[in-house]
Each structure stands twice: as structure tokens, then as C-alpha cells.
Structure 1
Amino acid sequence: MTYQYHDESIIKSLPEDTVFVFGSNLAGQHDDGAARIAQLFFGAMTGVGRGWSGQSFAIPTLNEHLQQMPISQIAHYIEDFKIYTQNHLTTKYFITALGCGIAGYQVSEIAPLFQGISSNVIFPESFRPYVEKNANRLFPNLTSKLLHSIFSEDVILADDYAEALKHTTLSKEQKQIALKVLEQKMYPEDQYGRSRNYEIEDILKQINHKIFNLPNHSDESYIYGGVILALMELYDFNEQDFIRVWNAEIEIKHPIKRHH
């Protein structure tokens, strides 16, 4: 199954045939996050913590006391939603990263629950590795060779990453993931408008002079730091793991492969 995806930026309107799907609580209090957006712009009603209202659809991830639900209970509500989408195929469903904010679950825990859903949904981009059938191919292991190729000056400082990657000896899948990471917006803000300066500076403190020798607070150093941050978020690992992969001590699997 091939799905549509959105970039997870905040939206305030959707076409009439598209419903905003958000994580809710059984008390129907829509005060924060996507639930607040649903109430302000998509007709979510106070007191309705489950199902359709206005141009929105609530999937509970918190109970009536605003506490985290067990993942098994959330899975039950998602199964109900799958049936709903199958019975309303002329409607599209814009799904937010529900359960991954206030409810505190990881994308790797929530996204797989949507596997097998009908194709009339638009997923967050972060769900892609967990719902596509070819997910294992989309996310090759991080190896020393892959890191050295990404961070070679010829690639990381190139005006055209895709052209630069053509001249590496990486596999097709490795080139695709390298391009995805290199094109990820991370500095000075990410695609959500969050400033990443401090995170990048912290990464550089831990890695610089152990692997790279970059001038402090230079544009070049922030480019390197931003790419490392993008890799860390995509593959869920830390700076020490990065150093170990760089030195060919370990390889890192994408989170979807760690559960198999």
C-alpha cells in the first residue's frame, strides 16, 4: 500500500472532503496540541473525546482523568478508526502524530498500529517507515561507510547533494537515505519552526575534535551539526553511538527493524 504524507506543519484548514484526525482524551477537553487545533479550526466539540465532530475525528490516547492510556487500549480505538475509514472511502483523513505528544508514546510504538489501513488517509511523514510495506528497504543500516560518505566535504558542502552522491559507492537505498537527511531542514530552525541552535551546539561539543575538527560557531560546523541531528532523530541514537558507528565499531538499525 502506498499512502499520502504531510510534513507535520501546523495547519488551519483542509479541503471539505478531508477530516482532521487527532489524539484526544475521554473527557473531551481539547486544550493542547493538535486537539486545540481541532477545536479552533475543525469543529471538535468539548465533551466529545471519541469519534467524529465537525470536520474532525478524535482518537483517544488519554483517559477521562487525562492520564496515558495503555497502548493496547489505543490500539483498540485505532482498529475502530480503520473500520470507519473503510466504510467512508470518499472521505480523506489527515492523521496527526497522535499519542506522540502529551500521551508520551514514540512514533515507533503508535505508527505500526495503523498498518493495513485503507488508502484514503494522509499520514505524518514520520509514520512512513512503519506503514509502508517496503519500509525495511527504505531505511538501510547506518554504517561507517555511509557516515563517511555523507560527511565528506565533497557531499555535505555541495550545492547539489543528489549530484554529489552519484559519485559515491553507496547503494541506491543508502543514497536515498543520505539525500533525505542532507535535505532535512535543521538549522537555524527545523521544519516546525523550532530553533535547533542549542541542540546542535551540544552535539558539536560532544563530537568535535573526536571526529571532526570544525571551527566553533561557523556556518560549516552548524551544517555538520544539523545533519548529525537529523540522523539522530531519524534513527533514534545518541552522540556516543555516532562516534562508534563512525569508527566502524557498530552499525545502527532503524527503529522499525529493532522490533523484529
Structure 2
Amino acid sequence: MHIDSLAPHEVFVFGSNSAGAHGGGAAKFALDRFGAVWGQAEGLQGQSYGIDTMSGLDVFEEQARRFVAFAAEHPEVRFLVTEVGCGIAGYRPVQVAGFFAGAGENVVLPASFVRELDDRG
């Protein structure tokens, strides 16, 4: 899925770093197009939502779980998740897809994450 525009009820979910320096990849796209805030690493930012993927897997997992909980509290919003952590951060879907297990129907995961979650049963 290639995301280049959003409906009013949609949010672009991207990988960030602890400084919120959105200088490349999906983070730069979120900054340029969807209201990401320079200096904000995590959370809702305009029509985007950042998850720190650059501070280690423990931080990534904790923030991904907070995102899943946030999405559950906002069923009226459709969250479009990029391959968070699989670009500049260098992880593979097999390492990180499980962080999004249990996400609700309003969370659209990338096909690679869905495959990994399906494989886990």
C-alpha cells in the first residue's frame, strides 16, 4: 500500500527517532505532508502518529503497544501503519510485526506485518 493522501479521519503511522528529527524516510514524508512536528518523537502529530524505532527494540515495542492502545481508544480514526522500523531503523517484519498484535480493525497494517502475524497463528 502506497500512501500519498489521507481522508480527514485517517492518520499516517511512521517510525521516528528519540529526537523527533524527521529528516528521512516515512518520517520526512509525515513532516512534509501530514503534520508531523519536528522535535516530537512519539504520538499524534497532525494527521500522523510517530513511534520511536531508533532507540532499541524495547522502546519500539513499548511505544507500539501504546499506539495500539491509543488506536483502540479512537475507533473513529483509521490508522494507516507504514512498515514501521523496517526502513532506516533496519529491522525486519519478523522482528517487529508482533508489537502490533491485537490491533483493532481501525489499524491497517502493512501486508508484510499481516503475513507475520498470520504465520504466528
Residue 42 of structure 1 corresponds to 34
Deviation digits for residues 45-92 of structure 1, max 9, x if unmatched? 111111011100000112xxxxxx221221110111111011111101
- Aligned equivalents of 1:103 and 1:125: distance in 2? 19
**CA RMSD, aligned part only?**
1.4
Structure with the bigger RCO (C-alpha within 8 Å, sep 6+) is 2
Residue 15 of structure 1 corresponds to 7
Q: What SS does the aligned partner of 1:26 have?
A: coil
Q: Alpha-carbon deviation of 1:12?
A: 2.4
Deviation digits for residues 98-142 of structure 1, max 9, x if unmatched? 1111111111101111111111111111112123xxx24xxxxxx
Percent identity, please.
Answer: 37
TM-score by length of 2: 0.93
Q: Alpha-carbon deviation of 1:34?
A: 0.3
Residue 54 of structure 1 corresponds to 46
More strand by share: 2
- Which amino acid in structure 2 is aligned with residue 30 of structure 1? H
Residue 76 of structure 2 corresponds to 90
The runs of 4+ residues in structure 1 deviating greater than 2 Å are none
Kindly tell me the number of residue pairs found equivalent between the two proteins.
121
More helix by share: 1
- Aligned equivalents of 1:13 and 1:53: distance in 2? 16
- Which amino acid in structure 1 is aligned with residue 76 of structure 2? T
Residue 111 of structure 1 corresponds to 97
Deviation digits for residues 200-238 of structure 1, max 9, x if unmatched? xxxxxxxxxxxxxxxxxxxxxxxxxxxxxxxxxxxxxxx
Residue 109 of structure 2 corresponds to 123
Q: Alpha-carbon deviation of 1:23?
A: 0.2
Residue 30 of structure 1 corresponds to 22
Q: 1:81 aligns with which of 67, 75, 83?
A: 67
Which structure has the bigger radius of gyration?
Answer: 1
- Which amino acid in structure 2 is aligned with residue 122 of structure 1? V
Deviation digits for residues 5-57 of structure 1, max 9, x if unmatched? xx2x2x32111100000000111111100001101110001111110111000
Aligned partners of 1:115 and 1:130 also within 8 Å: no
- Aligned equivalents of 1:115 and 1:53: distance in 2? 23
